[in-house]
Structure 1
Amino acid sequence: MKKFNWNNIWVNLRLLLIFGLVVFLYAFTSKRNEARKTKKTIVEFVNNDALYVGYETVNKLLIENGQQLKTIGKDKVVLNDLEKILNDHDMIQKSEVFISIDGVLKAVVTQRTPIARVFSEKGSFYIDSKGNTMPLSAVQTARLPLVLGEISDKNRKEIFELLWFIYNDDFLKKNITGIEILPSGSLRMTNRNYNYEIEFGKTVEVVRKFDNYKAFFQKAVHDTLIDTYKIINLKFTQQVVCTK
């Protein structure tokens, strides 16, 4: 007579019970999530030292495109679609949208970063940290170097690299207030506290020219002669030529 292996039966029964419990909990949780409504929206800016798009604007985009979030189940909200809507905004570089377990819709927003403001025949706009054009903001005016002249496909890369170098240098970021692109392609710059102009020349040997300028500035301030200069010529990389 064949004997039953009660141990195997008991193990299989336990596995069946555990599987049934998992299915029940999943169904129960899904049902609760389906019934739970989104309670509110929260907007958080990663780089919030200067806002170029307001909290209200982002919140409005979430509500208008979330199909009345307070009256639908949170599982109905298509988060990827909301992220795309936010990312299409002129002032936003990237966003992440998610819903917490208690039904709070949250958007974490990274703004675009302007590094210079351009005035040209095409109008006024910013250049951002990616080298792209960025419209002016109705919320905030950035205190940045003003660029006069045309930025074309021919000089765009070189001008952006120069602007990015200035933006990332603490001294230059505070000191350089204006850059004029001359028809010859040379650059002329203005500074924040003194009346002299900087003849920078073409966008070659940028690092060396700025190193020369920093050395000149430190010595001229120390010697109290800086107010006597009208033109600081950096075209010659081996020396700084000053005109009083």
Structure 2
Amino acid sequence: MINIYNIFKWVFLFSVLIFLIKYTSQNRLSKKFKIDYIEIKTKEKRFLTSEDILKYINTSPHFDISQLNDFNIKELENVLDLHPGINNAEVYTHQNGNIGVLVNQKKAIVRIKTETDDFYLDEYGQKMKLCKNYFPELLVATGKINDTHHKEIFDFVCLLRKSSFWNAQISQIYFSDDDIFLIPIVGDHKINIGNFDNISLKLENLYHFYNKAISYKGWQTYSDINLKFNNQIVCTKR
């Protein structure tokens, strides 16, 4: 008799537990959450605001904010990752059941402008759309650029950024039909590098030329400096 009683007791307790789990799950699923906290991480000037992110979520065709609950926060993270100014996003729930959002703002390092396109490359070499309220002072690559050039442009800009001198000196990369030209900030001349092969050596040679020749003859002496030939610098006087 005692065994039967114990069996009924455990069956009853188990049934209650199943009911509570099911009720809690249904209740959490039906509960509508709200975003009550947004944090934006960045190493540079912030161009994203909490209002921008909320507006982006509210107007996204990929997510219905009215159906937000703690079972679909991964979907919200995926939507935020589509934002042109967000590198990655993390969405989490608070103890009160509301939603917090943590986003890492993207950082552009070069702008690419062609006749048909205009965009940035971010610090990871990925394409980044132009963003409202974001106007960084960056090196600009122009001319006859296609997708195959993006990697070498990114690598070259990363090389420049390692040097305080070159990072401050080069303002533009121009792709012609045959050669690549650099446009400096100081000095009224064009620098023909041909291509990016042996670019570190070309920059080193140009640096020595600046120190030994330009500093003596003046920054306005030459109109063109050609580095495309191995270990040679060919200059054209204006």
TM over 0.5: yes
**1:9 corresponds to which residue?**
none
Amino acid at match of 1:93: N
Amino acid at match of 1:125: F
- 1:151-191 C-alpha deviation (Å, 9 max, x unpaired): 2244443333223323444322221111110101x111111
Three-state SS of the structure 2 residue aligned to 1:41 is: strand
**1:195 corresponds to which residue?**
188
- Among 126, 129, 132, which residue is 1:135 paired with? 129
**2:138 corresponds to which residue?**
144
On the 8 A contact 1:178/1:190 being kept in 2, the answer is yes
On the 8 A contact 1:188/1:197 being kept in 2, the answer is yes
Amino acid at match of 1:208: L
Tell me if 1:67 matches 2:65.
yes
Amino acid at match of 2:151: K
Shift of 1:102: 4.7
Shift of 1:198: 1.0
Tell me if 1:232 matches 2:221.
no
Q: 1:220 to 1:137 in 2, by over 3 A?
A: farther
- 1:121-168 C-alpha deviation (Å, 9 max, x unpaired): 213222333433322122112211121212224444333322332344
- 1:78-105 C-alpha deviation (Å, 9 max, x unpaired): 2211111100112222111112335553
Structure 2 residues without counterparts, runs of 5 or longer: 1-16
Q: How does 1:61-210 map to 2 (within 5 A)?
A: 61-62=56-57, 65=63, 67-68=65-66, 76=70, 78-103=72-97, 105-184=99-178, 186-210=179-203
**2:36 corresponds to which residue?**
41
Report the Cα distance in structure 1 between the residues aligned to 2:163 and 2:169, rounded to whole angstroms: 10
On the 8 A contact 1:220/1:226 being kept in 2, the answer is no
- Scaled by the length of structure 1, the TM-score of the pair is 0.70
**2:206 corresponds to which residue?**
213
- Could you tell which deviates more after superposition, 229-238 or 170-179? 229-238
On the 8 A contact 2:40/2:48 being kept in 1, the answer is no
What is the total number of aligned residue pairs between the two structures?
214
Amino acid at match of 2:65: Q
Q: 1:150 to 1:53 in 2, by over 3 A?
A: farther
On the 8 A contact 1:53/1:91 being kept in 2, the answer is yes
- Could you tell which deviates more after superposition, 232-241 or 135-144? 232-241
Report the Cα distance in structure 2 between the residues aligned to 1:96 and 1:205, rounded to whole angstroms: 41
Q: 1:96 to 1:76 in 2, by over 3 A?
A: closer
Amino acid at match of 1:46: K
Aligned-pair identity in percent equals: 26
CA RMSD, 1 decimal? 3.4
Structure 1 residues without counterparts, runs of 5 or longer: 1-22
Report the Cα distance in structure 2 between the residues aligned to 1:155 and 1:229, rounded to whole angstroms: 29
